[in-house]
């Protein structure tokens, strides 16, 4: 197994459960996203060949480089999950030690692995041995203490991972508090493998701040890309030339929404696609005064035509 990442662009699309499906990734790639992740996949569900989980593995030859993120803690499930994944084309296999959700941590998975660095080390070693592609770890700074980050990251590096993705908060912080840039910098300086930093990458200046304060090799955009796929173009431009590209105007945003929604109609059954798109409608129209009545109606939209009408009416509703 090769253990070096072949490509590491400056900004990567983070794994997001319920969000980073194939059509979402492809839209972001149109705007300059050069590395994207699938949604988080449960090893047990992969091992049992769950149809729902297999659907999350949908990809396309132009959907590369692609990282697949898995969550688990059991070697048997992990082994069969890796066997299943050998049927797919992808570039990086990532283990989730970052998810703070109780339904995950109460089973000892996700961020709970941060409390068991030795078990985490064994899991990663196993993955490195059997994975057909390089392995990475996505972690938080610690369970409740950012002082643990360096040791956990060094354990992971020792296990042979090719990169570490680090969200600059502890599990107990969830999404509260500021990003702990100093602790990310400490981890970066201890490692010889690439460190990709995550946390509050909402606009280009915050991406630059992450590079400047931590020395990280790349950054990862998550919430900043929700209803704003152009963030990749903006960050890439700002990092290369210090030029700020303006947010698209409302007519351009409507075109992007239509493209996004059409791709969901092609990918999902109609009602599922409409339901999936509702949250994006809210994110795209954030801060657009006059759209409140439309935003209130979006939760009731069930058909393709209802959603199309809500998108097309945005321009008429503005004041």
Ligand X SMILES: Cc1cc2nc3c(=O)[nH]c(=O)nc-3n(C[C@H](O)[C@H](O)[C@H](O)COP(=O)(O)O)c2cc1C
Active-site annotation, residues: 99
Interatomic CA distance for residues 113 and 304, integer angstroms? 42
Our finding on whether 200 is near ligand X (CB under 6 A) is yes
Which of 98, 184, 228, 307 is the binder for ligand X (CB under 6 A)? 98
| Sole binder of ligand X in the list 10, 121, 138, 188 (CB under 6 A) | 138
> How many chain residues touch ligand X (CB under 6 A)?
22
Residue 191 or 222: which CB sits closer to ligand X?
222
Residue 222 interacting with ligand X (CB under 6 A): yes
Contact segment (CB under 6 A) with ligand X among 25-33, 91-99, 117-125, 288-296 equals 91-99
Does 105 participate in binding ligand X (rule CB under 6 A)? no
Among 161, 196, 201, 311, binds ligand X (CB under 6 A): 201
Site string for ligand X, 145-174 (x = CB under 6 A): ----------------------x-------
- Distance of alpha carbon 176 from alpha carbon 228, whole angstroms: 22
Kindly report the number of other CB atoms within 10 A of residue 88's CB atom: 15
Q: Please spell the DSSP secondary structure of 288-308, one letter per residue.
A: -TT-HHHHHHHTT--SHHHHH
Which member of 13, 14, 85, 197 binds ligand X (CB under 6 A)?
A: 14
Tell me which of 11, 12, 13, 19 binds ligand X, using CB under 6 A. Answer: 19
Place of tokens 């770890």: 137
Question: Where does residue 74 rank: exposed (0-12), middle (13-18), buried (19+ CB within 10 A)?
Answer: middle
Contact 43, 72 (CB under 8 A): yes
Report if residue 96 touches ligand X, rule: CB under 6 A: yes
Q: Does 107 participate in binding ligand X (rule CB under 6 A)?
A: no
72, 142, 224, 227: which one binds ligand X (CB under 6 A):
224
| Shortest distance (Å) from residue 316 CB to ligand X | 30
By CB under 6 A, tell whether 136 contacts ligand X. Answer: no
Distance CA 81, CA 106 (A): 21
Indicate which single residue of 34, 115, 209, 223 sits in contact with ligand X (rule: CB under 6 A). Answer: 223
CB under 8 Å to 240, separation ≥6 — which residues? none
Distance between CA atoms of 206 and 17, rounded to whole angstroms?
23
Residue 94 has φ and ψ, to the nearest 5°, of -110, 135
With respect to ligand X, which residue has the nearer C-beta, 222 or 314? 222
Q: From the CB of 50, what's the least distance to ligand X, in Å?
A: 16
Does residue 15 bind ligand X (CB under 6 A)? yes
Helical residues (DSSP H) of the chain, grouped into ranges: 22-30, 43-47, 51-55, 75-85, 102-105, 117-130, 149-159, 181-190, 204-214, 231-241, 250-267, 270-284, 292-298, 304-312, 314-317
DSSP assignment string, 141-204: S-SS-GGGHHHHHHHHHHHT-SEEEEESS-TTTTT-S---HHHHHHHHHH-SS-EEEES---SH
Does 114 sit near ligand X (CB under 6 A)? no
Closest CA to 100 of 138, 149, 67: 138
Q: 199, 204, 227, 273: which one contacts ligand X (CB under 6 A)?
A: 199
**Candidates 11-19, 82-90, 122-130, 264-272 — which segment interacts with ligand X by CB under 6 A?**
11-19
Contact footprint for ligand X (CB under 6 A)? 14-19, 39-40, 69, 96, 98-99, 138, 167, 198-201, 221-224
């Amino acid at each position: 197994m090769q253990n070096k990442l072949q490509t590491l662009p400056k900004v990567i699309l983070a794994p997001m459960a319920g969000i980073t499906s194939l059509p979402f990734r492809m839209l972001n790639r149109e705007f300059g996203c050069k590395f994207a992740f699938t949604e988080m996949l449960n090893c047990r569900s992969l091992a049992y060949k769950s149809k729902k989980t297999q659907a999350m593995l949908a990809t396309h030859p132009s959907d590369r480089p692609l990282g697949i993120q898995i969550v688990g803690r059991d070697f048997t499930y992990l082994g069969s999950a890796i066997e299943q994944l050998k049927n797919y084309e992808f570039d990086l296999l990532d283990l989730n030690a970052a998810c703070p959700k109780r339904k995950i941590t109460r089973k000892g998975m996700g961020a709970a692995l941060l409390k068991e660095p030795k078990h985490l080390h064994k899991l990663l070693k196993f993955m490195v041995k059997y994975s057909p592609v390089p392995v990475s770890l996505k972690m938080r700074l610690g369970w409740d203490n950012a002082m643990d980050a360096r040791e956990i990251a060094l354990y992971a590096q020792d296990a042979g991972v090719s990169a570490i993705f680090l969200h600059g908060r502890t599990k107990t912080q969830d999404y509260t508090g500021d990003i702990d840039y100093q602790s990310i910098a400490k981890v970066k300086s201890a490692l010889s493998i690439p460190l990709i930093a995550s946390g509050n990458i909402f606009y280009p200046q915050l991406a630059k701040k992450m590079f400047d304060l931590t020395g990280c090799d790349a950054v990862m955009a998550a919430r900043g890309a929700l209803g704003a796929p152009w963030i990749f173009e903006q960050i890439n431009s700002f990092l290369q030339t210090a030029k700020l590209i303006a947010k698209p105007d409302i007519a351009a945003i409507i075109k992007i929404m239509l493209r996004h929604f059409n791709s969901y109609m092609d990918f999902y059954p109609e009602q599922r696609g409409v339901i999936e798109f509702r949250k994006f409608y809210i994110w795209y129209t954030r801060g657009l005064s006059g759209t409140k009545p439309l935003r209130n109606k979006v939760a009731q939209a069930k058909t393709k035509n209802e959603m199309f009408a809500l998108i097309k009416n945005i321009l008429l509703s503005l004041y």
